[in-house]
Structure 1
Amino acid sequence: MKKTSDKWYFTKETNAKGLCYIYAYQTQWDPVAKKSKRSARKYVGRLAADSVVNITAKFRSEFPQYAQGTFYFGLDKTLVDEAAYRRDFPDAPGPKPAAAEMDTALWDTRSLGFTWALEQLAAQSQVLEHLREIFKEDARSLLNLAIYKLAGGNSMAAMEDWRASVYLPHGPALKSQRISEVLSRVTPKDFARYFHLRHQSKIERMSGADCVHYALDNTTISSYSATIADVAYGHAKRDPELPVLNFTFVCDQDSGDIVFAHAYEGSIPDVTAFGEIVYRMKDAGFDFSKVILVTDRGYQSLINIQKQIDLEVKFIQGIRLSEDIVKRSFDRYDASLHNQRFYDTGERVYAHSTTEAWKQYTDYGSLNKTLHLHLYRFPKADEAEMEELRLQVQQVLDLKNANKQVPPEKWLTYKRFVCERTTAQGRRYWDRDDNAIEAALRYAGRFAIRTNAEANPFKALSIYRLRGQVEQDFNQFKNWVDGNRLRCTDTAYWGKLLVCTLATSLRMMAIKGAHDREQGNRKIPNT
């Protein structure tokens, strides 16, 4: 497994008597199961009725940041001080902290560079222009809220206090009630219209025969809301005990700008939702003749390939190796994938291409279509996968043969690679199932792409690899602009999604611009 994240998350557990306890845990990526799993776990303390966490002496000694003071279990499932807790729960029982007076020096000394740069970026990229066209007088307020999120703002109630310390001269004052009104005026229709303008402006700036590469991916946003209809229990990697909303981005791989976003019910898997997303993009006015859509293996199915062909979508799609035709192709061309003539030093991969015959179904009958199936072998990747799998299996064997318990998730993942045997003397022991391991590693280090847009396998892989841009978009959305959780009602959640998406888009365009102008060994922070 890959190294465990240094970040600790907190969760609440309730026993049969109704007593609540707080635990801290970390997550770890499992390359075999291909999902994030909980790993280390520590007991924090009991949760009192007033939300105070009675932190144990052991936890305080291990985590010095909690060594002194009283901590509460906050709205975003972290340990917070009383001031932060009461900002989120102003009606909580107990004495209210005295209102602090604003430092009058803030009116004379303000931070300028950050807010000015973002306003300039919003103007130059036409973000502000498109906001004005769709949201009229609310445009500046929405942009200012996005800038506030980019500055690390969490609670909307603190927006005006922050604004008093920065230079942000345009737009009305934004008290809590005003913010709620602005967010509630964002409708799903206007949300879609705004992103249509983002896409359209990109197409208009292109030269005639070029195509733009758009990457599509999805994430889940957890929520405590009982009023948002699309919030449902689904496939959340983080906080699986919470219901979620599915949120899809389509981003321009060149600039990082988000050109389409769509929210839908949290219980629907990616592969099932893909067709609906493409139809919505088409309804929103996307010109697919100018777009190559790049998607990963999570959206791959024969049905989805057929939908893209029928809708005349140009695509580059990573595909799972579970299809029999793909396995047979790898077996057939295995020699080529070990031949140096099929190796590219730029992409550092072996590749072989073959074609597939498909049909496009129209109102007037069917048309013959040819797709490219690109097969890849990454040198040394198969050995790395083998080494990791053998290491995990050996850990399971050591525990089983020592009559110790294997962690449930680890056993679920690796039990198929071990078996119980009996010696000639009748002693039972656990051993590797080498046949199962060899079967699992048969296509290790392999990858495949199916496309109707790029015949060159190395160029197709180069384009596919750029989809890391959309993954970075989600990283920024969830970890930098407070987009990981919806703390709002059904009337405001489209507005909250828009603000966080605007903030992510501005941040990604700023990062891309900084990288394009990068000099020497200067490191751009938090990218």
Structure 2
Amino acid sequence: MATIVYQKDKRSGITYAYESISYWDKDKQQSRSKRTLIGRVDSKTGEIVPTDGRGRKKKEGGQAVTKRGPDPSVQTARYFYGATYLLDEIGSHTGIAEDLKACFPGTYRQILSIAYYLILEDSAPLYRFEKWNHLHKHPYGENITSQRSSDLFASITEDAKYKFFRLQGKRRTEEEFWAYDITTISSQSELLRQVQYGWNKENDPLPQLNLALVFGETSNLPFYYRKLADNIPDSKTVGNLLADLDVLGFSKVKLVMDRGFYSKENINALLKDHVKFLIAVKVSLVFIRKELDAIYDGFRSFEYYSEKYELYGRTVRTKWDYTQHRPYKGDTLTQSKRMYIHFYYNIDRAAEDEKAFDRKLITLRQELESGKRQPEHDKLYQKYFETKTTPKRGTKVTVNAEAVNKAKRYFGFFALMTNETMDAITALELYRNKDVVEKAFGNLKERLNMRRTLVSSEKSLDGKIFVEFIALIYLSYIKKQMQDTDLFKNYTLQGVLDQLDVIECFESPGKKLRIGELLSKQKEIYESLGVIPPTSL
């Protein structure tokens, strides 16, 4: 599919129009694009003026006029350019720069420069941007003070953000599954309404908010996020997610979700909106255990064993009792919907679960025999033990063998549920790819300095998260390319950026931009990341 791409020459100030045709490179196993110059954009009329392909406008009668040369530099300067050049090229390839320009025409260069800074400086606070600006060539090309960055964040509107989500989402294939997950972000700002005290994995004694992300599982790139209050359960967010995706214009949706998003209401909502989904479910659910019990005895047959994943996998076709309340008709629609449950059994996981369970039973029995009962364990005492106390023998504790055996029966099992036809191993691979979201959360919190947010207003917080999100797209792209080309065998993500960041460029009055020396390994990194190495203009 051909699209028109606009690119402004920083030296001359001229905007050129290119025809971009995307195609799949079978050798490199990645999406590529081929661009053909159409012409230059008239700054007054906005019309595309055809050229002969060498930057000269065509006159009537076939005569060409000489193209205006680049604006000469007004000063002699040297900058680090290799890494920011890489980000420039990624922004062009993924359409980030083009989409930002369409949504934020007056500030997109500032957004890009702050995103570049966050990526390259690894957790550095924004007040150090001035030093970085003096050393690096970047889209905005000027210093961005703390006050200016705060004003920038506050100027980012919901309407512009959703326009960007819509543009980026259209660049993702609708055939891929989209991973959806939620994380918590701690904040040192106490004046924000959605920031509340809660619990997170880091055990931070700070109020928090939730951040939801949607990633493409094939592209490994995020294109949507939403900020949530910390006290909202994951399962309560699916309805709004579906509504947002509808607003963004995405009709064919496929979601991969963790079991925290499972509820009968959510499954019915997904089915109502004709959404394809793959979701983890608890084996303890009554209807799940009923289906597992029916195939339990022959589950560990060799024919169901996967050597690649070292587990057993089987698929059961079942029916879901779908219900839909229809206020406009004053009734409730009930139907039987086709559903598939993929069951898995892992021997190592079963052994670990049983060891942990036995250790727990030992602790519980010791508490009962010593008379040091813990109130929070009362239900477990009643479920797994029988106690008798006599004056002579004291307290005698016996294990409820039937309850223990019933609990151990399902150790090592886990299940996925879907309304899409696929085999158990395909479903497992799709679900395991969901960890791109979890890795993205790690990038967001650690590398992008979002473990602690400190802003003075809701608007500033919203804007800052959006710029962090832009940086996250770049990081996700680089990480995906590094995985596909095995760059991680020799470099870390930071190592790749460091290798390129030292490449310099030189500006002189009246002269073209000159690129410093490139080593062979630096050229190889660019090529592995799908970018043509920079050359002197």
Q: Same fold (TM over 0.5)?
A: yes
Question: Relative to structure 2, which stretch is displaced further, 231-240 or 302-311?
Answer: 231-240
Q: Tell me, yes or no, if the aligned pair for 2:179 and 2:214 is still in contact at 8 Å.
A: yes
Q: Deviations over 1:456-480 (max 9, x none)?
A: 2221111111101111111111111
In 1, the alpha carbon distance for the partners of 2:257 and 2:337 equals 20
In 2, the alpha carbon distance for the partners of 1:253 and 1:125 equals 16
In 2, the alpha carbon distance for the partners of 1:200 and 1:374 equals 31
Q: 2:158 is aligned with what amino acid?
A: P
In 2, the alpha carbon distance for the partners of 1:332 and 1:297 equals 23
- Residue 137 (structure 2) pairs with residue 167 (structure 1): yes
Query: Which residue does 2:217 correspond to in 1?
Result: 253
Q: 1:454 is aligned with what amino acid?
A: T
In 1, the alpha carbon distance for the partners of 2:144 and 2:102 equals 21
2:306 aligned residue (344, 354, 366): 344
- Residue 484 (structure 2) pairs with residue 516 (structure 1): yes
Q: How many residues get paired?
A: 411
Q: 1:181 is aligned with what amino acid?
A: D
2:452 aligned residue (485, 490, 496): 485
Relative to structure 1, the CA distance from residue 443 to residue 135 in structure 2 (aligned partners, 3 Å threshold; closer, same or farther) is: same
Relative to structure 1, the CA distance from residue 315 to residue 139 in structure 2 (aligned partners, 3 Å threshold; closer, same or farther) is: same
Q: Deviations over 1:287-321 (max 9, x none)?
A: 3x2x3211110100111000000011111111122
Relative to structure 1, the CA distance from residue 478 to residue 431 in structure 2 (aligned partners, 3 Å threshold; closer, same or farther) is: farther
1:426 aligned residue (382, 388, 393): 393
Q: Structure 2 matches for 1:337-416, cutoff 5 A?
A: 337-350=299-312, 351-359=314-322, 361=324, 369-394=337-362
Identity among equivalent pairs (%): 23
Task: Quote how far apart the aligned CAs of 1:164 are.
Answer: 1.8
Q: Structure 2 matches for 1:169-184, cutoff 5 A?
A: 170-184=140-154
2:90 aligned residue (121, 124, 146): 121
Query: Which residue does 1:214 correspond to in 2?
Result: 178
Q: Tell me, yes or no, if the aligned pair for 2:127 and 2:146 is still in contact at 8 Å.
A: yes
Q: Structure 2 matches for 1:447-466, cutoff 5 A?
A: 447-466=414-433
Q: 1:385 is aligned with what amino acid?
A: D
In 2, the alpha carbon distance for the partners of 1:122 and 1:393 equals 56
Relative to structure 1, the CA distance from residue 357 to residue 270 in structure 2 (aligned partners, 3 Å threshold; closer, same or farther) is: closer
Query: Which residue does 2:412 correspond to in 1?
Result: 445
Task: Quote how far apart the aligned CAs of 1:426 are.
Answer: 2.1
- Structure 1: runs of 5 or more not aligned: 1-106
Partner of 1:371: helix, strand, or coil? strand
- Residue 297 (structure 2) pairs with residue 335 (structure 1): yes
In 2, the alpha carbon distance for the partners of 1:430 and 1:481 equals 54
- Residue 295 (structure 2) pairs with residue 320 (structure 1): no
Q: Deviations over 1:301-355 (max 9, x none)?
A: 1110000000111111111223211011111110232112222333433223222
2:192 aligned residue (203, 225, 228): 228
Partner of 2:166: helix, strand, or coil? helix
Query: Which residue does 2:498 correspond to in 1?
Result: none
Q: 2:468 is aligned with what amino acid?
A: C
Relative to structure 1, the CA distance from residue 387 to residue 195 in structure 2 (aligned partners, 3 Å threshold; closer, same or farther) is: same
Relative to structure 1, the CA distance from residue 302 to residue 167 in structure 2 (aligned partners, 3 Å threshold; closer, same or farther) is: same
Q: 2:274 is aligned with what amino acid?
A: E
Q: Deviations over 1:494-524 (max 9, x none)?
A: 1111111122221111011011111694353
Task: Quote how far apart the aligned CAs of 1:236 are.
Answer: 2.7
Q: Tell me, yes or no, if the aligned pair for 2:315 and 2:340 is still in contact at 8 Å.
A: no
2:163 aligned residue (163, 187, 193): 193
Partner of 1:312: helix, strand, or coil? coil
Q: 1:316 is aligned with what amino acid?
A: L
In 2, the alpha carbon distance for the partners of 1:113 and 1:405 equals 64
Partner of 1:236: helix, strand, or coil? coil
Query: Which residue does 2:115 correspond to in 1?
Result: 146
Query: Which residue does 1:299 correspond to in 2?
Result: 261
In 2, the alpha carbon distance for the partners of 1:380 and 1:282 equals 42
Q: 1:281 is aligned with what amino acid?
A: L
In 2, the alpha carbon distance for the partners of 1:524 and 1:166 equals 22
Q: Tell me, yes or no, if the aligned pair for 1:372 and 1:451 is still in contact at 8 Å.
A: yes
Normalised by the size of structure 1, how large is the TM-score?
0.70
Q: Tell me, yes or no, if the aligned pair for 1:153 and 1:159 is still in contact at 8 Å.
A: no
Q: Structure 2 matches for 1:41-190, cutoff 5 A?
A: 110-150=79-119, 151-168=121-138, 170-190=140-160
Q: Tell me, yes or no, if the aligned pair for 2:479 and 2:493 is still in contact at 8 Å.
A: no
Relative to structure 1, the CA distance from residue 382 to residue 138 in structure 2 (aligned partners, 3 Å threshold; closer, same or farther) is: same
Q: Tell me, yes or no, if the aligned pair for 2:113 and 2:139 is still in contact at 8 Å.
A: no
Partner of 2:106: helix, strand, or coil? helix
Q: 2:339 is aligned with what amino acid?
A: L
Q: 2:294 is aligned with what amino acid?
A: R
Q: Tell me, yes or no, if the aligned pair for 1:310 and 1:360 is still in contact at 8 Å.
A: no
Q: Which has the higher contact order (CA 8 A, sep 6+)?
A: 2
Q: 1:161 is aligned with what amino acid?
A: K
Task: Quote how far apart the aligned CAs of 1:173 are.
Answer: 2.3
Q: Deviations over 1:35-86 (max 9, x none)?
A: xxxxxxxxxxxxxxxxxxxxxxxxxxxxxxxxxxxxxxxxxxxxxxxxxxxx
In 1, the alpha carbon distance for the partners of 2:193 and 2:154 equals 15
Question: Relative to structure 2, which stretch is displaced further, 147-156 or 123-132?
Answer: 147-156
Q: Tell me, yes or no, if the aligned pair for 1:342 and 1:352 is still in contact at 8 Å.
A: no
In 2, the alpha carbon distance for the partners of 1:163 and 1:431 equals 72
Q: Tell me, yes or no, if the aligned pair for 1:393 and 1:418 is still in contact at 8 Å.
A: no
Q: Deviations over 1:354-388 (max 9, x none)?
A: 22144475889776531212222223321121113
In 2, the alpha carbon distance for the partners of 1:156 and 1:261 equals 22
In 1, the alpha carbon distance for the partners of 2:463 and 2:301 equals 54
Relative to structure 1, the CA distance from residue 127 to residue 423 in structure 2 (aligned partners, 3 Å threshold; closer, same or farther) is: farther
Q: 2:265 is aligned with what amino acid?
A: I
Task: Quote how far apart the aligned CAs of 1:398 are.
Answer: 6.6
Relative to structure 1, the CA distance from residue 110 to residue 435 in structure 2 (aligned partners, 3 Å threshold; closer, same or farther) is: farther
Relative to structure 1, the CA distance from residue 114 to residue 526 in structure 2 (aligned partners, 3 Å threshold; closer, same or farther) is: closer
Query: Which residue does 2:239 correspond to in 1?
Result: 275
Query: Which residue does 1:310 correspond to in 2?
Result: 272
Relative to structure 1, the CA distance from residue 412 to residue 217 in structure 2 (aligned partners, 3 Å threshold; closer, same or farther) is: farther
Partner of 1:164: helix, strand, or coil? helix
Task: Quote how far apart the aligned CAs of 1:396 are.
Answer: 6.4
